[in-house]
Amino acid sequence: MKRKSLSVTKKTLNFYLTKLKDPQVRKLYNLFSNNLASMDLTNKKIMVGVSGGADSLAVLFFSQCYALKHHIKLYPVIIDHKLRKESTIEAKNLKYKLKQNFKINCKILSKKIVKINKNIQSFARDLRYDLFFEECNKQKIDYLILGHHKDDLIENFFIRFLRGSGLKGLVSFEKKVIIYNGINVIRPFLSISKKDLLKINKKTFGFFIDDPTNNDDKFLRSRIRKLLINLDKEGLSFNKFYLTLKNLSKSDQVIEFYVDKNILENSKYFEKDKKIILNQSFFNNPEEIILRSIMQVIKRISWKKNYPRGKKVNSLIDSIKFSNKNVKLTLSGCIIQKIQDSVIIYPEKR
């Protein structure tokens, strides 16, 4: 390595080590490090999602510290969703600033899209994840770190509550590590507030991009955020909320235990034909157990990436349980066929 390169590397390392001397920064870094300690990430490549917000930049800072300490190759990615006319310029400016000032090379991912008239934030979220996972597969990356925090946790709970989500939907966001499409999605700061991450951002990189849609009342998330401010004044603390969420999560784990038991005892999977046969006892369970069991076996067979909607699955279950005749239906890329007392599920031809 040339003398100039060594000087730049040393200067960069000193920047991060100096920032870690701050007690507040060091405390959150230790939390970050502990959340990653259970995974053997040495010499691995890790993707970090960088939106430009204070939360994602705080996570990028800690990821860079962790990478320098543990010999990890960091792969920071900026998503340009192109849903606002300013987004492309913001992405390029963010990439330049991180490269110029902090020697962090980011890749910008984007996709040409048609005009979206409704559910813009939902579309943007799905687009981000699609681009993340496509790039992970392309670069053979198994780990993705995101900057979700406890404010996101509470907001998502209320958004799903208002949309009528069941128990599984309400608690599904609280896990710090989930495996999705074969990628380990890590969210190390679900117990940390955005306010705390803002403080870290000021002490480290010292800048962030403020997305104007965060305060736009036409979006449900923005309205929920303002509602939570009022609920906080009425005494809704995160600790109280988190206790409720943990209790709900325990109930969810009990249900999942019986779902796994039902699938293990009352279904048989044929790898060669890629089909599952369910016996009659599969349906001799409480409604929630049957619902989740059917969703899981369909997900295993289907070539589609999303779970089928609960309303459609309930309709399917009713058709199977209450029909005396043989039934043949399609759902989520699968053919579901009832023959006497058995149900066969196999994929539709594409």
Q: What is the DSSP string of 56-76?
A: HHHHHHHHHHHHHHHT-EEEE
What distance separates the 2 farthest-apart alpha carbons in the chain?
Answer: 81
Radius of gyration of the CA atoms of the chain, in A? 23
Q: What is the DSSP string of 180-241?
A: ETTEEEE-TBTTS-HHHHHHHHHHTT------GGGG-TTSHHHHHHHHHHHHHHTT--HHHH
Asked whether the predicted pLDDT for residue 299 surpasses 60, the reply is yes
pLDDT tens-digit map of 120-131: 777 778 889 899
Cα 24 to chain centroid distance, Å, stands at 27
Structure-token pair, residue 310: 């609960």
pLDDT tens-digit map of 226-282: 888 888 777 777 778 878 888 999 999 999 999 999 999 999 999 888 999 999 999
Confidence of residue 10 (pLDDT cuts 50, 70, 90): low
CB 269 within 8 A of CB 300: yes
CB 76 within 8 A of CB 107: yes
pLDDT computed for residue 6 by the predictor: 47
Q: How many CB atoms lie within 10 A of CB 151?
A: 18
Question: Which of 52, 54, 80, 68 has the alpha carbon at shortest distance from 13?
Answer: 68
Distance CA 58, CA 61 (A): 5
pLDDT computed for residue 7 by the predictor: 54
Q: What is the pTM of this model?
A: 0.80
CB 77 within 8 A of CB 50: yes
CB 183 within 8 A of CB 142: yes
| Average predicted confidence (pLDDT) for the chain | 87
pLDDT tens-digit map of 156-209: 888 888 888 888 888 877 788 888 878 999 999 998 988 999 999 999 999 998
Cα 268 to chain centroid distance, Å, stands at 30
Domains of the chain with bracketed CATH: 3-236 (3.40.50.620), 245-347 (3.30.465)
Q: Which residue has the tokens 């295993």?
A: 300
